[in-house]
Amino acid sequence: MTAPSESFAPRRDEPLFGRLAIIGIGLIGSSIAHAAKELNLAGRIVLSDRDEAVRTRARELDLGHEIADTAAEAARDADHVILCVPVGACGAVAAEIAASLKPGAILSDVGSVKNAVVEAVLPHVPEGVHLVPAHPVAGTENSGPDAGFPSLFLNRWCILTPPEGTDAGAIARTRHFWEGMGALVEVMTAQHHDLVLAITSHLPHLIAYNIVGTAEDLEAVTQSEVIKFSAGGFRDFTRIAASDPTMWRDVFLHNKEAVLEMLGRFSEDLSILTRAIRFGDGETLHKHFTRTRAIRRGIIALGQEKPETEKLRKP
Amino acid sequence: MTAPSESFAPRRDEPLFGRLAIIGIGLIGSSIAHAAKELNLAGRIVLSDRDEAVRTRARELDLGHEIADTAAEAARDADHVILCVPVGACGAVAAEIAASLKPGAILSDVGSVKNAVVEAVLPHVPEGVHLVPAHPVAGTENSGPDAGFPSLFLNRWCILTPPEGTDAGAIARTRHFWEGMGALVEVMTAQHHDLVLAITSHLPHLIAYNIVGTAEDLEAVTQSEVIKFSAGGFRDFTRIAASDPTMWRDVFLHNKEAVLEMLGRFSEDLSILTRAIRFGDGETLHKHFTRTRAIRRGIIALGQEKPETEKLRKP
């Protein structure tokens, strides 16, 4: 008998949920399936995807214990149902599975915006079912059922945004589920979540998509030159701008107010820097470039990232 | 006798230059000193810095073979002199060392803009001295004499921008020097360099500095929330925005035309995305987010970076 190989997080003796349903088998859905199976977070894991090719691939990859043909079938009798579909699809999927949800079940999602998801999903939640929306702040530039891996959520934040009055026990079980996969859990309102993520995630993505597009359209600089000399800073933007287009389209359509607010502030600030460059105002530039270092120090102090030299020294 | 430990690049039997002078002991200057000594690229390496504290630290770190008190002293009789000072200081330093430069010497620099450097330095270059400006496209978020390490330039591009009519032998020796440190060398005009770098490096830095500043000024989202949830994309911007403020101030002041041109295009493109968000035009967003993936694939194909999942799987 060989000893079981060590996992990235402790494996549970008893599963946390009897039946776990994962609707949508992309990067997040497949990662949850890997983690929940490896760590025994659910006795039975059933996945589904509306795309038949994805379901076939998920069976080949042996994700979870069963691949159901429909979302409703996957959700039937589940104790925890997680919608891992683009934000814009959450309402329709909730309507589709509503009749299959059993009383006491927790309905959750993993969307990057929360207010719009709550508004779209809540009308379909049957009496006795607990809606506990979640947003794991984790991802890679890859998408699809092959992209998932069990440690994706390790040491990453997962934000829960339960509507007011949500059952405390359901919130606690959802928290334990994410903590079980190694995530750090925080609870806040959907409104505040959308504002925080607008600046820490949505605006950076929009800016990254934008600058990569600008680079593509140049006539005087070739695309191969852009690629060749990208180490100067551009490369980091291309990684962000390689994220899933459908997911990000939905994020911007569904967190419009907060993103437009942050975009407005960003553009105002950029005008000041542009003006400083135009008029050769080195003092304004230097002052601005100095104060932005503080936030970086905070991120490194929090252990969310190592300084860059370490990475370079040990490639 | 112990075998010499293996280096990141082949060590030369015979040095390429007799005397190498490095003026300015920051990240780049100290990295060149480390690499040139380790790989025997110069028989004698003399460094200098206008800051006495930096010279003292450089002596403690045993950088090169000698720390001279003045730039002129370091440059005297040198075969290769590299200005590793902020772009805005290159002209003044060139004036200071001009009388010490010996005929046949190569005068170079490492500035991130090239046209302004050539304009500022060329008037001070004595007859018989070869100006071969260089820009190693490499760096980290750290600055100062402690930040350097010998493999900084390994597999990174170094762009040479010799003025028309520059001695071919001097260009070749400069190329060999950078190739000796593991860099990939490309030659282009200073004007074209400034345009290419405006999009691949200068604009990304300005945008990163700007967005980090916008985040700092928010009232509804605390700084600790920004730091906590930065994994969503913002974190990459903070790394770029932690670069040396003086160096970057000088870059923007000295590549004004190209940066303003790129900024104009960037803002135009951002207006289109902003408008698409405001009017809920998901098709425009999706189309834009899809085409930007091509450049990313190019960067990965060129081996300049690995896809992100690999990094995450093997932390």
Cα–Cα distance measured from residue A45 to residue A30, given in angstroms and rounded to the nearest whole number: 11
Q: What is the pLDDT of residue B293?
A: 84
Q: pLDDT digit string (tens) for B46-101?
A: 999 999 999 999 999 999 999 999 999 999 999 999 999 999 999 999 999 999 99
Mention every residue, 6+ apart, whose C-beta is less than 8 A from residue B228. Answer: A157, A186, A302, A304
One domain, residues B177 and B267: no
| Tokens 């932005």, located at residue | A292
pLDDT of residue A5: 56
Residue type, A93: V
Q: Does a structural domain hold residue A277?
A: yes
Question: Per-residue pLDDT averaged across B119-142, rounded?
Answer: 95
Structure tokens at A222: 């070739």
The CATH number assigned to the domain holding A301 equals 1.10.3660.10
**B216: closest CA of chain A, how far (Å):** 8
Do B90 and B184 sit in the same domain of this protein?
yes
Joined tokens for residue A309: 């030299």
CATH number at residue A31: 3.40.50.720
Secondary structure (DSSP) of A235-304: HHHHHHTTS-HHHHHHHHHHSHHHHHHHHHHHHHHHHHHHHHHHTT-HHHHHHHHHHTHHHHHHHHHTTS
Look at residue B310 and tell me if it is in a domain: no
What is the bridge-based pairing of β-strands A80-83 and A17-23?
Answer: parallel
DSSP B153: G
pLDDT digits (tens, 9 = 90+) for B224-272: 999 999 887 899 899 889 888 999 999 999 999 999 999 999 999 999 9
pLDDT above 80: residue A284: yes
Q: Is residue A113 classed as helix, strand or coil in its secondary structure?
A: coil
In this model, does residue A61 exceed pLDDT 70? yes
**% pLDDT > 90, chain A:** 82
Q: Residue A298's pLDDT is what?
A: 85
In a shared domain, residues B199 and B166: no
Q: Is residue A6 part of a domain?
A: no
Q: Which residues contact B186 (CB under 8 A, 6 or more apart)?
A: A228, B157, B158, B159, B160
In a domain, A8, yes or no: no
B 109-138 residues inside an 8 A Cβ radius of A: 112, 137-138
Asked if B114 and B182 sit in the same domain, the reply is: yes
Structural element, H or E, at residue A182: none
Chain B partners within 8 Å of A299 (Cβ): 227, 230, 235, 238
Of B156, B211, B231, the CB nearest to A157: B231
Given a cut of 70, is residue A314 above it in pLDDT?
Answer: no
Residues A40 and A101 in one domain: yes
Closest CA in chain A for residue B299: A227
If you average pLDDT over every residue of chain B, what do you get? 93
Average pLDDT, chain A: 93
Does B99 share its domain with B116? yes
Yes or no, beta carbons of B289 and A241 under 8 Å apart = yes
Instruction: pLDDT band for A305, please (50, 70, 90 cuts).
Output: low
- Cβ–Cβ < 8 Å for A260, A210: no
Please count the structural domains in chain B. Answer: 2
Q: Which of A24-33, A136-145, A164-173, A306-315 has the lowest mean pLDDT?
A: A306-315
Q: What burial letters (b/e) apply to B226-264, b meaning 16+ CB within 10 Å?
A: bbbbbbbbbbbbbbbbbbbbbbbbbbbbbbbebbebbbe
Is residue A251 located within the same domain as residue A280? yes
Phi (first) and psi of residue B26, to 5 degrees: -105, -155
Chain B CA closest to residue A195: B221
Distances in Å between the alpha carbon of B102 and those of A6, A24, A239, B106?
A: 65, 70, 47, 9
Using one digit for the tens of pLDDT, what is the confidence trace for B146-185? 999 999 999 999 999 999 999 999 999 999 999 999 999 9
Q: Which of residues 205-234 of B touch A (CB under 8 A)?
A: 205-218, 220-221, 223-234
Domain range spanning residue A28? 17-188
Look at residues A141, A173, A188 and tell me which one is the last residue of a structural domain.
Answer: A188
Indicate the range of A56-65, A299-308, B68-77 predicted with least confidence. Answer: A299-308
Residue A223 covered by a domain: yes
The candidate with the shortest Cα–Cα distance to A283, out of B187, B88, B60, B306, is B88
Q: Are A179 and A201 in the same domain?
A: no
Q: Which residue has the tokens 């460059």?
A: A277
Would an 8 Å CB–CB cutoff place A200 in contact with chain B?
Answer: yes
**pLDDT, tens digit (0-9, with 9 covering 90-100), for A239-276:** 889 888 999 999 999 999 999 999 999 999 999 999 99
**Is residue B3 in some structural domain?**
no
Chain A residues with CB-CB distance to B257 below 8 A: none
CB B22 within 8 A of CB B55: no
pLDDT at B231 (0 to 100): 80
B161, B188, B215 — which closes off a domain? B188
Interface contact flag, B248 A285, Cβ < 8 Å: yes
Task: Indicate whether B182 and B206 sit together in one domain.
Answer: no
Residues B83 and B34 in one domain: yes
B60 touches A at CB < 8 Å: no
Strand ranges across the sheet with B66-68: B66-68, B42-48, B17-23, B80-83, B106-109, B130-131
At residue A313, does pLDDT exceed 70?
no
**Model pLDDT for residues B14-24, shown as the tens digit of each residue:** 999 999 999 99
Residue A270 sits at the chain B interface (C-beta within 8 Å):
yes
Give the closest-approach CA distance of B300 to chain A in angstroms.
Answer: 9
B161 plus B231 within the same structural domain: no
Per CB-CB distance under 8 Å, the chain B contacts of A291 are 213, 216
- Residue A123 shares a structural domain with residue A177: yes
Q: Which of B188, B209, B241 is the last residue of a domain?
A: B188
Is A81 a domain residue? Answer: yes
Whether A66 is covered by a domain: the verdict is: yes
Q: Nearest to residue B39, comparing CAs of B62, B10, B2, B19?
A: B10
